[in-house]
Amino acid sequence: MMPEPRATRSGAAALAAGLGATPRADAFLRGARETARVALAVGAGVLVAAGFVLALGYDPLAALRVMFETVFRSWSGFVDTVLQATPLLLIALGYALCYRARVWTVGGEGQFHLGAAAAGLVALGLPTATPAPVGLTLALAAAIAAAAAWALVPGWLRAHRGVNEVVSTLMLNFVGIFVMSWLIRTVLRDPEIPLLQTAAFPEAFHFPVVGQSRLHLGVALALALVPAVAYLANGCAFGARAQAIGANPRASRAAGVDVPGTIIALFLLSGALAGLAGAAQVLGVTHRLLVGLSHDFGYTAVLVALLARNHPVAVIPAAFFFSALVVGAEGVQVELRIPSDFVRVFMGILVLFVLAADALARRRAP
Amino acid sequence: MPAHGAAAVVMRGITKRFGAIVANDGVDFDLDPGEIHGLLGENGSGKTTLMSILYGLLQPDEGEIALAGRPLALRGPTAALREGIAMIPQRFRLVPTLSVAENVALGLEPRGRRQGRVLREVRGRLLELAGRYGLGVDPDGRVESLSMGERQRVEILRALYHESRILLMDEPTSVLTPGEVEHLFAMIRRMAAEEGRTVVLVTHKLREVIGLADRMTVLRLGRKVGTFAAAGATFARLVEAMMGERASAANGAVPTRAPRAAPRAAPVLAVEGLCVRPAAGEPLVSRELRDVGFEVGPGEVYGIAGVEGNGQWELELALAGLIAPARGEIRVLGQLGIPRERTAYIPSDGQQWGVIRDLTLAENLLLADAAAGSSLSPAPTRRPAALAAAARAIDRYRIVPPDLRLRARQLSGGNAQKLLLARELGRDPVLVIAAQPTAGLDVASAAFVRAELRRAADAGAAVVVISSDLDELIELADRIGVIYEGALQGEWPAESATVGALGAAMAGVRVQPEAAPA
Amino acid sequence: MTPEAILQLASGALVFATNFALVVGLAAVGAAVTERAGVLNLGHEGVMLFGAAGGFVAAHAANDPWVGLLGGVAGGLALGLLKAVWSVLLKTEQVINGLLLVPIGFGLGNLLFKHYFSGALEPPRVPPVAPLGIPLLEDIPLLGPVLFDRSPLAYAALALIALVAWFLARTRAGMTMRAAGESPETLDFNGIAVDRYRFAAVVIGTALTGFAGALLAVDQLHLFHPAMTAGRGWIAIAIVIVGGWRPWVCLAAAFFFGITDMIQFQVQIQAVPVPYELLLSLPYLATVAVLAWWHSSVRPPAALGEPYRR
pLDDT, position B401: 87
Residue among C158, C5, C126 at smallest CA distance from C61: C126
The set of residues, in sequence order, having a beta carbon less than 8 Å from that of A227 and lying 6+ positions away, is none
Tell whether the model's pLDDT for residue A31 goes beyond 80: yes
Contact between A1 and B440 under an 8 Å Cβ cutoff? The reply is yes
| Contact check, Cβ <8 Å, B340/A1 | no
**How many domains are contained in chain C?**
1
Q: How far apart are CA B258 and CA A199, in angstroms?
A: 83
The rounded Cα A343 to chain-centroid distance in angstroms is 17
pLDDT, position C143: 76
Q: For residue C77, which amino acid is it? A: L
Lowest mean pLDDT among A23-32, A329-338, C230-239, C287-296: A23-32
- Which domain, by its residues, includes C169? 3-116+133-297
Count of CA atoms in the C-beta half-sphere (13 A) of A30? 17
Burial of B168 (0-12, 13-18, 19+ CB in 10 A): buried
The set of residues, in sequence order, having a beta carbon less than 8 Å from that of B68 and lying 6+ positions away, is B2, B7, B8
Position with higher pLDDT, A189 vs B80:
B80
pLDDT, position A33: 86
| Contact check, Cβ <8 Å, A154/C288 | yes
| Contact check, Cβ <8 Å, B368/A255 | yes
| Contact check, Cβ <8 Å, A174/C92 | no
Query: pLDDT confidence of B514, banded at 50, 70, 90?
Result: very low
pLDDT, position B250: 41
What would the DSSP string read from start to end of A29-95?
HHHHHHHHHHHHHHHHHHHHHHHHHHHTT--HHHHHHHHHIIIIISHHHHHHHHHHHHHHHHHHHHH
Share of chain C above pLDDT 70, in %: 97
Restricting to A residues 259-318, those with a Cβ less than 8 Å away from any Cβ of C are 299, 302-303, 306
pLDDT, position A52: 85
Lowest mean pLDDT among A24-28, A90-94, A201-205: A24-28
Into which CATH architecture does domain A61-364 fall?
Answer: Orthogonal Bundle (1.10)
Gyration radius of chain A's alpha carbons: 22
Query: pLDDT confidence of B6, banded at 50, 70, 90?
Result: low
- CATH code where residue C200 lies: 1.10.3470
pLDDT, position C259: 86
Contact between A297 and A87 under an 8 Å Cβ cutoff? The reply is yes
pLDDT, position A16: 53
Residues in chain B closer than 8 A to C178 (CB atoms): 97-98
Residue C308 lies in a domain: no
By CA distance, what is A13's nearest residue in B? B401
Buried b (16+ CB within 10 A) or exposed e, C48-78: bbbbbbbbbbbbbeeeebbbbbbbbbbbbbb
Terminal Cα distance for chain C, rounded: 66
> Could you tell me the pTM of the whole model?
0.90
Could you give the maximum distance between any two Cα atoms of chain A, in Å?
A: 82
pLDDT, mean of residues A309-324: 96
pLDDT, position B257: 52
Which pLDDT tens digit goes with each residue over B349-405?
Answer: 988 999 999 999 999 999 999 999 889 999 999 999 999 999 999 999 989 889 898
Tell whether the model's pLDDT for residue C266 goes beyond 80: no
pLDDT, position B278: 85
pLDDT, position C279: 83
Q: How far apart are CA C272 and CA C263, in angstroms?
A: 12
Lowest mean pLDDT among A228-237, A316-325, B497-506, C55-64: B497-506
Query: pLDDT confidence of C120, banded at 50, 70, 90?
Result: confident
Residues in chain B closer than 8 A to A238 (CB atoms): 375-376
Share of chain B above pLDDT 90, in %: 57
Residue C126 lies in a domain: no
Residues in chain B closer than 8 A to A102 (CB atoms): none
Residues in chain A closer than 8 A to C103 (CB atoms): 299, 303, 344-345, 347-348
Query: pLDDT confidence of A99, banded at 50, 70, 90?
Result: very high
Contact between B216 and B209 under an 8 Å Cβ cutoff? The reply is yes
| Contact check, Cβ <8 Å, B415/A8 | no
| Contact check, Cβ <8 Å, B283/C187 | no
Residue C307 lies in a domain: no
Q: How far apart are CA A71 and CA A74, in angstroms?
A: 7
Query: pLDDT confidence of A146, banded at 50, 70, 90?
Result: very high
Gyration radius of chain C's alpha carbons: 20
Tell whether the model's pLDDT for residue B113 goes beyond 80: no
Q: How far apart are CA B243 and CA B225, in angstroms?
A: 10
Nearest-CA distance C65 → chain B (Å): 35
Query: pLDDT confidence of A17, banded at 50, 70, 90?
Result: low
Q: How far apart are CA B10 and CA B28, in angstroms?
A: 8
pLDDT, position C1: 66
Contact between A86 and A218 under an 8 Å Cβ cutoff? The reply is yes
Strand bridging mode B215-220 / C132-133: unpaired
Which pLDDT tens digit goes with each residue over B171-224?
Answer: 898 778 888 888 899 999 999 998 899 999 998 778 888 889 999 999 988 999
Burial of B314 (0-12, 13-18, 19+ CB in 10 A): buried
Lowest mean pLDDT among B128-132, B483-487, C118-122: C118-122
Buried b (16+ CB within 10 A) or exposed e, B83-122: bbbbbbbbebbbbbbbbbbbbbbbbbeeeeeebeebbeeb
pLDDT, mean of residues A261-276: 98
Rounded to two decimals, the ipTM of the complex is 0.90
What is the residue extent of each domain of chain A?
61-364
Q: How far apart are CA C257 and CA C232, in angstroms?
A: 10
Contact between A257 and A247 under an 8 Å Cβ cutoff? The reply is no
The helix (run of H) or strand (run of E) holding residue C252 is helix C247-269
Residue C127 lies in a domain: no
CB-closest option in C92, C106, C287 to A355: C92
Residue C303 lies in a domain: no
Residues in chain C closer than 8 A to B79 (CB atoms): 191
Q: How far apart are CA A23 and CA A20, in angstroms?
A: 7
Lowest mean pLDDT among A171-175, C16-20, C248-252: C16-20
Nearest-CA distance C295 → chain A (Å): 6
Contact between B504 and B329 under an 8 Å Cβ cutoff? The reply is no
Q: How far apart are CA B138 and CA C21, in angstroms?
A: 40
Burial of B334 (0-12, 13-18, 19+ CB in 10 A): exposed
Nearest-CA distance B145 → chain A (Å): 24
Nearest-CA distance B69 → chain C (Å): 25
By CA distance, what is A18's nearest residue in B? B406
Count of residues making up chain C: 310
Residues in chain B closer than 8 A to C35 (CB atoms): none
Which pLDDT tens digit goes with each residue over A210-248?
Answer: 888 889 999 999 999 999 999 999 999 999 999 999 999
By CA distance, what is C87's nearest residue in A? A356
Residues in chain C closer than 8 A to B117 (CB atoms): none
Share of chain C above pLDDT 90, in %: 65
Across all residues in chain C, what is the average pLDDT? 90
| Contact check, Cβ <8 Å, A164/C291 | yes
| Contact check, Cβ <8 Å, B370/A258 | no
Tell whether the model's pLDDT for residue B5 goes beyond 60: no
C92 in contact with A, Cβ within 8 Å: yes
Chains that touch A (3 or more CB pairs under 8 A): B, C
Cβ-based interface (< 8 Å): residues of C facing B: 170-172, 174-176, 178-179, 182-183, 185-192, 296-297, 299, 302
Residue among B410, B417, B282 at smallest CA distance from B357: B410
Residues in chain C closer than 8 A to A341 (CB atoms): 106-108, 110-111, 114
pLDDT, position B4: 46
Residues in chain C closer than 8 A to B85 (CB atoms): none
Share of chain B above pLDDT 70, in %: 93
pLDDT, position B510: 64
pLDDT, position B246: 54
* Range picked from B99-108, B409-418, C202-211 for highest mean pLDDT: C202-211
Nearest-CA distance B209 → chain A (Å): 21
pLDDT, position C168: 94
Query: Which of C95, C100, C261 is the best mutation test for A, with the most CBs of A within 10 A?
Result: C100
| Contact check, Cβ <8 Å, B280/C296 | yes
E-assigned strand segments in B49-97? 62-67, 70-72, 85-88
Query: pLDDT confidence of A356, banded at 50, 70, 90?
Result: very high
pLDDT, mean of residues A313-319: 96
Domains of chain B: 9-84+163-250 (3.40.50.300), 96-155 (no CATH)
Which pLDDT tens digit goes with each residue over A49-64?
Answer: 888 888 888 888 888 8
By CA distance, what is B78's nearest residue in C? C191
Q: How far apart are CA A215 and CA A196, in angstroms?
A: 26
- Measured at the alpha carbon of residue B294, what is the angle toward residues B147 and B500, in degrees to the nearest 5? 55
Lowest mean pLDDT among A188-192, A347-351, B118-122, C158-162: A188-192
Helix (H, G, I), strand (E, B) or coil at C201: helix
Contact between A128 and A193 under an 8 Å Cβ cutoff? The reply is no
Across all residues in chain B, what is the average pLDDT? 87
Helix (H, G, I), strand (E, B) or coil at B260: coil
What sections of B165-311 are H helices per DSSP? 178-195, 206-210, 235-243, 247-250
Residues in chain A closer than 8 A to B42 (CB atoms): none
Query: pLDDT confidence of B255, banded at 50, 70, 90?
Result: very low
Restricting to A residues 218-247, those with a Cβ less than 8 Å away from any Cβ of B are 234-241, 243-244, 247
Tell whether the model's pLDDT for residue C272 goes beyond 90: no
Helix (H, G, I), strand (E, B) or coil at B158: helix
